[in-house]
Amino acid sequence: MATIFIKDGGDFRRVVTNIRTASGERAVGTMLTRRAVDAIQTTSNVVGEVNHLSHSIVTTIQEQDVAVGEIARSVSGANDGARDVARNVAESASALTEVAESITKVNQAVSETAHGINQANESANELDQLASTLSAIVKQFRI
């Protein structure tokens, strides 16, 4: 709607408008009182305040959007770090499993070696006894 007003004394008169009456004729100028002008000015001020508040809200939302983006990047970075830690833990666990298996094999080899040493000691003792017996038998013969 387009409307043009002119000042008429202390009041304003609408001189041009595209509003039509119920009968379809163009509406003619209407006198605006000081009260009407004040109401229009008050409404204009309220609209200005609403626009200002809307701008503040939009700015706050944009700042929150930036903050949410930063938080999302931080969470993504933390997720990447956690994934790296989990991979390192898995690799360490695998290495520790290999070490444990190696220790088990070494323990088995030590046990087998100890068993072999015991058998060698028993054989040495038997040989010592045989040597003593043979020595006693040989002493009985004279050449």
Read off the pLDDT of residues 31-45 as tens digits, 9 standing for 90 and up: 667 787 788 788 888
Give the chain's largest Cα–Cα span: 167
The tokens for 135 are 């020595």
94 falls within a domain: yes
61 falls within a domain: yes
Structure-model confidence comparison of residues 96 and 13, the more confident one = 96
* Average pLDDT, integer, range 4-8: 74
pTM value > 0.85: no
Percent of the chain with pLDDT over 70: 85
8 Å CB contact between 2 and 16: yes
Read off the pLDDT of residues 56-80 as tens digits, 9 standing for 90 and up: 999 999 999 999 999 999 999 999 9
5 falls within a domain: no
Confidence category of residue 128, pLDDT binned at 50, 70, 90: very high
pLDDT of residue 36: 74
14 falls within a domain: no
CA separation for the pair 129, 9 (Å, rounded): 147
Q: Is the pLDDT of residue 12 over 80?
A: no
Read off the pLDDT of residues 78-121 as tens digits, 9 standing for 90 and up: 999 999 999 999 999 999 999 999 999 999 999 999 999 999 99
**How many domains, in total, are found in the chain?**
1
CA separation for the pair 32, 13 (Å, rounded): 6
Q: Is the pLDDT of residue 17 over 70?
A: no
| Full domain range(s) for residue 82 | 47-109
| β-pair partners for 16 | 4
C-alpha dihedral (55, 60, 63, 67), degrees to nearest 10: -160
Q: Please state, rounded to an integer, the average pLDDT across all residues of the chain.
A: 86
8 Å CB contact between 37 and 12: yes
117 falls within a domain: no
Q: From 28, 37, 27, 35, select the one nearest 7 (Cα to Cα).
A: 37
97 falls within a domain: yes
CA separation for the pair 82, 90 (Å, rounded): 12
pLDDT of residue 26: 63
64 falls within a domain: yes
